[in-house]
Amino acid sequence: GDSVTQMEGPVTLSEEAFLTINCTYTATGYPSLFWYVQYPGEGLQLLLKATKADDKGSNKGFEATYRKETTSFHLEKGSVQVSDSAVYFCALSLRQAGTALIFGKGTTLSVSS
Amino acid sequence: NAGVTQTPKFQVLKTGQSMTLQCAQDMNHNSMYWYRQDPGMGLRLIYYSASEGTTDKGEVPNGYNVSRLNKREFSLRLESAAPSQTSVYFCASKGLAGAANTGELFFGEGSRLTVL
């Protein structure tokens, strides 16, 4: 079945370090791919998305490129800040009406100053 | 601009008690979802409603029931709460598939439920 696998956390970085969180997927058809972020005590917010192969999603300095050949959608940021500390979820959607998003288990990022 | 609204935000129940989590969206979305979030498990789909008048089981439906009351509202009911249902519950909605809709879900802020 369809699934998302993302790297286990927690990830602990110093401020201004480079961030990569790996995400790979298995899907029938051509999914849209998403990264959601959850700040402490809050719900999930869409961080970025990509709808087709080679698309690059970007937002708030984060980027991820939809790689069909490697079925990956890795999240990167060149210089993390303390305020980026959160849980990050990779997800896919097959876009048919009503289909739910399938989420990875989440990666906790902790950034220290 | 409320988006997806869930109530209550916090609830403590005793084993065997019942309760209903309410969810409403004001974005005219067709599809609505209930997820639960547990440490180390990510988000797991409980039930969903692809459109008004339909509901379907997700990955972890046991112990829950849902009602799609109208296009705006989708409630989740625990008939006899168990400690294993202690979790954070999220409601979400999605519009119709199409050029303007990439399948993104819009989430409520969550309902934290503790069953003693």
Of residues A98 and B31, which shows the higher confidence score? B31
CA angle A47, A52, A55 (to 5 degrees): 60
Least confident range of A14-18, B1-5, B25-29:
B1-5
**CB-CB under 8 Å, A97 with B30:** yes
Query: For a pLDDT cut of 70, what percent of chain B falls above it?
Result: 93
Query: For a pLDDT cut of 70, what percent of chain A falls above it?
Result: 96
Nearest Cα of chain A lies from the Cα of B57 at a distance, in angstroms, of 11
Residue B12 tokens read as 């403590």
Write down the pLDDT at residue B98: 56
Write down the pLDDT at residue B68: 95
User: In the structure, what pLDDT confidence band is assigned to residue A108 with cuts at 50, 70 and 90?
Assistant: very high
Long-range contacts (CB closer than 8 Å, 24 or more residues apart) made by B109-112: B109/A42, B109/A43, B109/B6, B109/B9, B110/A42, B110/A43, B110/B6, B110/B9, B110/B37, B111/B6, B111/B7, B111/B8, B111/B9, B111/B10, B111/B11, B111/B21, B112/B9, B112/B10, B112/B11, B112/B88
Write down the pLDDT at residue A95: 63
User: In the structure, what pLDDT confidence band is assigned to residue A96 with cuts at 50, 70 and 90?
Assistant: low
User: In the structure, what pLDDT confidence band is assigned to residue B41 with cuts at 50, 70 and 90?
Assistant: confident
Please give the torsion angle defined by the CA atoms of residues A11, A17, A18 and A24, in that order, rounded to the nearest 10 degrees.
10
Write down the pLDDT at residue B104: 82
Whether the upstream peptide bond of residue A40 has omega within 30° of 0, thus cis, is no
Of residues A30 and B96, which shows the higher confidence score? A30
Please tell me if residue A44 touches chain B, with a CB cutoff of 8 Å. yes
Nearest neighbour of A100 by CB, restricted to B45, B101, B109? B45
Write down the pLDDT at residue B79: 93
Write down the pLDDT at residue A36: 96
Please tell me if residue B58 touches chain A, with a CB cutoff of 8 Å. yes
Write down the pLDDT at residue B57: 94
* Closest residue, chain B, to A52 (C-alpha): B102
Write down the pLDDT at residue B100: 56
Mean pLDDT score of chain A, rounded to an integer? Answer: 92
Can you tell me the mean pLDDT for B19-33? 94
Nearest neighbour of B97 by CB, restricted to A31, A96, A105? A96
pLDDT in tens, A28-72: 878 889 999 999 888 899 999 998 899 999 999 999 999 999 999
Write down the pLDDT at residue A1: 80
Nearest Cα of chain B lies from the Cα of A45 at a distance, in angstroms, of 7
